[in-house]
Amino acid sequence: MRNTMNISASLVVLVMGFSLVACGNSNPAVQPPTNNTGEQTPVPAPEEQPAEGDVIEAEGILTGWADPHTVEIRVKDEPMSFQVEESVQPLFDDIDDEDTVRFKYVERTFAGDTTIIQLVVKEITKVEVDDDRASTGANGTSNRPKTSELEVTVEGMTEKRPVTLAQGNGYSLYVFEPMAFDADENELTMKIDPDYEVEIEKLPSDYNLDFLKMDAKEELSETGEVKELTKKELSTGSMNDAQLYMMSQNDKKTEYYIVKELDGNGFIFRVNAPIGEPSEGFLPMAYASLNSIMNEKVSPK
């Protein structure tokens, strides 16, 4: 009986020992760190919001999309990239590449390690062009009919021929079918041979004719002997009211330097006429086109 009690007591001691060992090996629950100072852990500040400048209005030509939220617009001939937010994108549905657009945008500035500036479109509309009005260049617009007829004398025959309106830098003129007009260069040329050309320069209101005469002599002397035609010599030609008509020639070409006022503005016409088959029709058509010049309002760039 005593031995039985001793065994029982031993078992109890062993069970208690195992329990203590088990408790000692168990992982304690993770407790949040205690801030003994009573101060709260700082909360990160929210990201700084970008600053937006005043609304800017502009006009340009839509070049195209660089990606789903970036569009390029040429403003005053300079390509500029603009961000387009999702709410504004539907305004572009009816606008195609190379359309003229009028729009509003803001400069959005992000401050950080480096300052980032985004141009963000707020509003945009397509500038409609009236098909009944001619506007064949980017430097202006005209209310003149897109097509017409001009009288011209070629090889002794005077007749009216169809012409198309072209737009230059602050002026418009009519051009015959065998000829082409480069609005960017303000040059009128023969399609079959662009060496037959007229460079057109619009003069300021305060131009000095004496200075222009000196320039003409210097330019034309490189080709040959310079001659100035008198009013009498010009009286029967289409440039009879020119203020200055000077020329020089050699065995390859004839060059002319003509100053004339048209529609209240002075112009210089530098004419290069190589000796060849097209030369007979070139000058009559060129002069008829030049005499059709009218001043036009210059579009903003």
CA atoms 98, 86, 80, 296: torsion sign: positive
pLDDT at residue 113, rounded to an integer: 60
Give me the torsion for CA of 67, 69, 70, 72, rounded to 10°: 90
Per-residue pLDDT of the chain (301 residues; tens, 9 = 90+): 445 445 444 544 444 544 444 444 444 444 444 444 444 444 444 556 778 888 999 998 898 898 999 999 998 878 899 999 999 999 999 898 888 899 999 999 887 666 788 999 999 999 875 444 334 444 455 778 999 999 998 878 889 999 999 999 889 999 998 899 999 999 999 998 999 999 999 999 899 999 999 999 999 999 999 999 999 999 888 899 999 999 999 999 999 999 999 998 999 999 999 988 766 789 999 999 999 999 986 554 4
Length of the chain, in residues? 301
CA-CA distance, 184 to 139, in Å (whole number)? 8
Q: Is 75 left (phi over 0), alpha (psi -120 to 50) or beta?
A: beta
CA-CA distance, 139 to 76, in Å (whole number)? 11
- Cβ pair 74, 63 in contact under 8 A: yes
pLDDT at residue 299, rounded to an integer: 53
CA atoms 148, 154, 157, 158: torsion sign: positive
Q: pTM higher than 0.95, yes or no? A: no
Kindly calculate the radius of gyration of the chain based on its CA atoms and give it in whole angstroms: 41
- Cβ pair 268, 242 in contact under 8 A: no
- Quick one: which H or E segment has residue 280? helix 279-290
pLDDT at residue 213, rounded to an integer: 96
In three-state secondary structure terms, 290 is helix
CA atoms 138, 144, 148, 152: torsion sign: negative
Residue 43 sits at the vertex; the CA angle it makes with 42 and 45, to the nearest 5 degrees, is 120
